[in-house]
């Protein structure tokens, strides 16, 4: 297996972006269970994110969602983040929470609604200029519920038109990440349902249009690591929205439902040369019943554990077994790495970096949870959809 020192050196470079919305209240369509002490403003979300980074050393940036994180002065918010030891990351657009979007946003049959959606996307690029963000994440809830409701190909044309306008507005160092999702909220067609559709739009746009893989956005049984391998091979894997799912888009803690899948994905990332800053490792999760900050810390640790196991894979031995057609031998190389307990190695890495080996216990001892419950009283609680 790969030497632990090499694994530790690689892990020390890994950055996992946390989403602002994971710090706030969220729920299902049945109920949002409000928690005490959750952030009331984008600044308070950043204060919580700073705790996650302080304790893990691996979560230096925070993704914003507009308008959930709307502020008057984005440059000032970026400075506030910097003073906390953070940076503002991906800007997530939101063209799904407005009555005008009942029939879609950029694919809507009415040009007025399409213009409104496009204006929002362009505004997000303005925000990126102010925050210094590299990536714009685009997820469209667009689709139809009934056969015949709208013209599938016309909707693709409208989508391409909007994407082109946004792409042309991007700065030289900025990228567009196009996210796909196979269904929900649309139930018959979704306009960007899969990686093939996202990839074909990105191909036409240019190299700064990249596909983002949200691990909760596939039909059950989909081989996500295969998609990862193909996108990397094509130079079009822009990043991940990590989360876990048992049924649909459950947005549970990454690595909680299927840590083996996460390992297989990271194995393809590493093998495909994707362990680079160009492939963004982001969380996209909602913590409905569990306390938010420790859940996010746990998620960061789960990504680190899967990565450590994937880094441990003896690629030389794997290649020898594969070339020899040694089916069982090749599989054993992978399973040996997966079955290694990497927690001591990660504890050691944290100690090397002056961190507590157990971030969750350190968080409990820190008193932050009690402090925010005492301090953050009153006001509107900012969360999913706030
Ligand atoms: C859609 O389900 C999604 O995964 C997109 O990334 C949204 O921006 C995000 O969820 C909001 O939580
Ligand atoms: Mn997502
Ligand atoms: Mn999702």
Q: Whose CA is nearest to atom 3 of ligand 1?
A: 139
Q: Look at strands 189-190 and 175-179 and give their pairing.
A: unpaired
Kindly give the distance from the C-alpha atom of residue 254 to the centroid of ligand 1, in angstroms, as a whole number: 14
Query: Tell me: the pLDDT tens digits for 281-321?
Result: 999 999 999 999 999 999 999 999 999 999 999 999 999 99
Full-model pTM: 0.97
Q: What percent of the chain has pLDDT over 90?
A: 96
From the list 37, 33, 138, the residue with the least C-alpha distance to 95 is 138
Q: Is residue 326 part of a domain?
A: no
Q: Whose CA is nearest to atom 2 of ligand 1?
A: 249
Regarding the beta carbon of 179 and ligand 1, being less than 6 Å apart is answered yes
Regarding the beta carbon of 243 and ligand 1, being less than 6 Å apart is answered no
Regarding the beta carbon of 249 and ligand 1, being less than 6 Å apart is answered yes
The number of folded domains in the chain is 1
**Which ligand has the shortest distance to the CA of 91?**
1
Q: Look at strands 143-144 and 189-190 and give their pairing.
A: antiparallel
Helix, strand, coil content of the chain in percent (nearest 5): 45, 15, 40
Q: Is residue 216 part of a domain?
A: yes
Q: How many angstroms separate the CA atoms of 382 and 386, rounded?
A: 5
Q: Is residue 344 part of a domain?
A: no
pLDDT at 3: 87
Residue 237 bridge partners (DSSP): 211
Distances (CA, A) of 36 to 147, 165, 227, 295: 45, 42, 40, 15
Distance spanning both ends of the chain, measured CA to CA: 48
Q: Is residue 292 part of a domain?
A: yes
**Which ligand has the shortest distance to the CA of 185?**
1
Query: Tell me: the pLDDT tens digits for 341-372?
Result: 999 999 999 999 999 999 999 999 999 999 99
Kindly give the distance from the C-alpha atom of residue 93 to the centroid of ligand 2, in angstroms, as a whole number: 11
Of 97, 178, 214, the residue with max ligand 1 atoms within 8 A of its CB, to mutate for a pocket test, comes to 214
Of 18, 92, 244, the residue with max ligand 1 atoms within 8 A of its CB, to mutate for a pocket test, comes to 92
Kindly give the distance from the C-alpha atom of residue 105 to the centroid of ligand 2, in angstroms, as a whole number: 17
Query: Tell me: the pLDDT tens digits for 182-229?
Result: 999 999 999 999 999 999 999 999 999 999 999 999 999 999 999 999
**Which ligand has the shortest distance to the CA of 184?**
1
As a whole number, the mean pLDDT across the chain is 97
Kindly give the distance from the C-alpha atom of residue 306 to the centroid of ligand 1, in angstroms, as a whole number: 23
Regarding the beta carbon of 69 and ligand 1, being less than 6 Å apart is answered no
Virtual torsion, Cα 118, 29, 90, 51, nearest 10 deg: 150
Regarding the beta carbon of 225 and ligand 1, being less than 6 Å apart is answered no
Q: Is residue 6 part of a domain?
A: no
- Which parts of 188-239 fold into alpha helices (H)? 195-205, 224-233
Tell me if residue 159 falls in helix, strand or coil: helix
Does the interface predicted TM-score (ipTM) exceed 0.90? Answer: yes
Virtual torsion, Cα 331, 332, 333, 335, nearest 10 deg: 90
Give the CATH number, domain containing residue 113.
3.20.20.150
Q: Is residue 335 part of a domain?
A: no
Q: In which domain, by residue range, is 117 found?
A: 12-312+357-375
386 band by pLDDT with thresholds 50, 70 and 90: very low
Q: Is residue 307 part of a domain?
A: yes
Element (H, E) at 43: helix 42-56
Q: Is residue 102 part of a domain?
A: yes
| Ligand 1 atom with the shortest distance to the CA of 384 | 12
Contact 134, 173 (CB under 8 A): yes
Q: How many angstroms separate the CA atoms of 238 and 139, rounded?
A: 14
Of 18, 184, 284, 287, the residue with max ligand 1 atoms within 8 A of its CB, to mutate for a pocket test, comes to 284
**Which ligand has the shortest distance to the CA of 97?**
1
């Amino acid at each position: 297996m790969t030497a632990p020192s090499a694994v530790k050196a690689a892990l020390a470079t890994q950055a996992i972006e946390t989403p602002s919305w994971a710090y706030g209240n969220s729920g299902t369509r049945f109920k949002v269970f409000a928690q005490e002490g959750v952030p009331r403003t984008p600044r308070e979300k950043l204060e919580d994110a700073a705790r996650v980074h302080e304790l893990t050393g691996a979560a230096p940036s925070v993704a914003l969602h507009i308008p959930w994180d709307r502020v008057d002065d984005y440059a000032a918010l970026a400075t506030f983040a910097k003073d906390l030891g953070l940076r503002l990351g991906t800007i997530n657009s939101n063209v799904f929470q407005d009555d005008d979007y009942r029939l879609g946003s950029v694919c809507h049959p009415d040009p007025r609604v399409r213009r409104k959606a496009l204006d929002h996307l362009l505004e997000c690029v303005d925000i990126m200029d102010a925050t210094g963000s590299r990536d714009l994440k685009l997820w469209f809830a667009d689709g139809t519920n009934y056969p015949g409701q709208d013209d599938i190909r016309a909707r693709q044309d409208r989508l391409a038109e909007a994407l082109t306008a946004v792409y042309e507005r991007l700065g030289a160092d900025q990228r567009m990440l196009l996210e796909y999702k196979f269904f929900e909220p649309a139930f018959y067609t979704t306009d960007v349902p899969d990686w093939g559709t996202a990839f074909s739009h990105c191909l036409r746009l240019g190299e700064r249009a990249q596909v983002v893989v949200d691990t909760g956005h596939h039909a059950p049984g989909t081989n996500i690591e295969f998609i990862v391998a193909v996108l990397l091979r094509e130079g079009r894997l822009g990043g991940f929205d990590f989360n876990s799912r048992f049924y649909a888009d459950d947005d549970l803690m990454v690595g909680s439902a299927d840590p083996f899948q996460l390992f297989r994905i990271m194995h393809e990332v590493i093998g495909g040369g994707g362990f680079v800053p160009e492939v963004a490792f982001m969380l996209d999760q909602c913590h409905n019943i569990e306390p938010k900050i420790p859940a996010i810390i746990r998620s960061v640790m789960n990504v680190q554990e899967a990565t450590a196991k994937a880094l441990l894979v003896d690629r030389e031995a794997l290649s020898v077994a594969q070339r020899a057609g040694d089916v069982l031998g090749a599989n054993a190389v992978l399973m040996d790495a997966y079955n290694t307990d990497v927690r001591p190695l990660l504890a050691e890495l944290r100690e090397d970096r002056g961190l507590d080996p157990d971030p969750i216990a350190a968080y409990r001892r820190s008193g932050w949870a009690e402090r925010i419950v005492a301090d953050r009283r009153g006001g509107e609680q900012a969360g999913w959809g706030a």
